[in-house]
Amino acid sequence: MHTMSSHPAAMLCSKCAANLPEGSQFCPKCGQPVGAAEGAASPVSVSVCGGCGANLPEDSQFCPKCARPTGSVIPSVQVKDLPAGTEAQRPRRAGPRRRHSFITVLVVITSIGLLLWVASSDDPIAQNIQDLLGWKHDQAIVEAPFSVAPNNFQYFKFSLPEASLNVSIVGDFAATAGNEVKPRKTKGKSLAKDAVGDDNLEVFVLTESAFAVWQNGYSTGSLYESGRGPRGNIQADLPPGAGIYYLIFNNKFEPMAAKRVQATVFLRYRNWLPESIRRLKARILNWFDL
């Protein structure tokens, strides 16, 4: 029976894979040192059966798995061992902490969006929620009748707290001319004469700075202006946020007759900041004289 001797496994260059003659210290093709570099893995030669692909022990003449003569082998392949303690890198999956953080951020963003929707929406559901939370406010500015002297005006000062939204002033007014006694001299005698003017009146809504300008006799911009007339409806939007404003009933153009005014005016706004927190803030500011 003819037997075939085992062939030594060929060595390959770790850089260019060229065959290395026995005893070589450097690759004859690229000059790469044959010895393992410092810190690098050393190559290991593996002989494989040409029939079944099983690994062949050193000096084997037959394959221990299929009994094929070892003369028919697949060319050896150099395998570099990984350094001790080195593990294959695998993609990391998102851990519980990352998932928890993502859920927390999502909940916070959703809550903020819901809060903004409730605070600014005219939807009936949002309106009901505002009523339950006490965000909607109706503040009376004028409810009782009053008089405005001739060549004069009457004003009502009101303010808005911080964090006010969707601010508007609404209402109506009606004016009637009153009687103003004006003395008249005739032949050295003083007589009384009743002077009755028209029913016209002007209504303005001004900011604090604009009111100071208007009061000194200068023209200025207004948030609402009714024009001269005996009655009218007041409807004006005001800027959001804190502010001081003046509701003015003007009779400066009438030199003789006073005006009797019946008006009902309300300030309407929404405020997402609870009143208790606003009061606490005001107390702190007063405490520090700010």
Regarding whether 258 and 149 lie in a shared domain, the answer is yes
| Same domain as 145, residue 266 | yes
Q: At what angle do helices 124-133 and 96-120 cross, to 10 degrees?
A: 90
Same domain, 113 and 234: no
User: 142 with 234, same domain?
Assistant: yes
What region, left, alpha or beta, does residue 230 occupy, with left being phi > 0 and alpha being psi -120 to 50 degrees?
A: alpha
Same structural domain, 124 and 144: no
Instruction: Tell me the C-alpha to C-alpha distance, in Å, between residue 5 and each of 57, 61, 75.
Output: 13, 6, 15
Q: What distance in Å separates the CA atoms of residue 181 and residue 191, rounded to the nearest whole number?
A: 10
Mean pLDDT (the chain) is 76
Q: Which residues pair with 214 in a beta bridge?
A: none
Q: For residue 277, what pLDDT band results from cuts at 50, 70 and 90?
A: low
In a domain, 171, yes or no: yes
DSSP code of residue 49: E
**Residue 191 pLDDT greater than 50, yes or no:** no
- Give the model's pLDDT for residue 178: 73
pLDDT band for 10, please (50, 70, 90 cuts): low
Residues 65, 11, single domain; the answer is yes
State the sign of the Cα–Cα–Cα–Cα dihedral 238, 243, 246, 247: positive
- Considering the domain architecture, whether residues 41 and 72 belong to the same structural domain is answered as yes
**Whether 142 and 46 share a structural domain:** no
CATH number of the CATH domain containing 233: 2.60.120.680
Any domain includes 146: yes
Query: Do 98 and 77 touch, CB atoms closer than 8 A?
Result: no
Contact 245, 148 (CB under 8 A): no
User: Quick check: 75 pLDDT over 80?
Assistant: no
- For residue 32, being part of any structural domain is answered with yes
| Complete DSSP assignment for 81-118 | PPPTT-----PPPP-HHHHHHHHHHHHHHHHHHHHHHH
Percent of all residues in the chain with a pLDDT value above 90, rounded to a whole number? 31
Same-domain check for residues 123 and 144 = no
- Shared-domain flag, residues 265 and 188: yes
Digit-coded pLDDT (tens) for 229-273: 999 999 999 999 889 999 999 999 988 889 999 999 999 988 766
Q: How far is CA 191 from the centre of its chain?
A: 73
Residues 266 and 141: beta-carbon distance below 8 Å: yes
Q: Is residue 157 part of a domain?
A: yes
Of residues 20, 22, 3, 24, the one with CA closest to residue 12: 20
Question: How much is the pLDDT for 1?
Answer: 45
Note whether 190 and 253 are same-domain residues.
Answer: yes
Q: In total, how many domains does the chain have?
A: 3
This prediction's pTM: 0.50
Query: Is there a single domain that holds both residue 236 and residue 186?
Result: yes
How far is the first Cα of the chain from the last one, in angstroms, to the nearest whole number? Answer: 112
216 inside domain: yes
Q: Could you list the residue range(s) of the whole structural domain that residue 21 is in?
A: 1-83
pLDDT 10s digits, 100-146:
788 888 888 888 887 777 666 667 676 666 665 556 788 999 999 99
Distance CA 224, CA 230 (A): 16
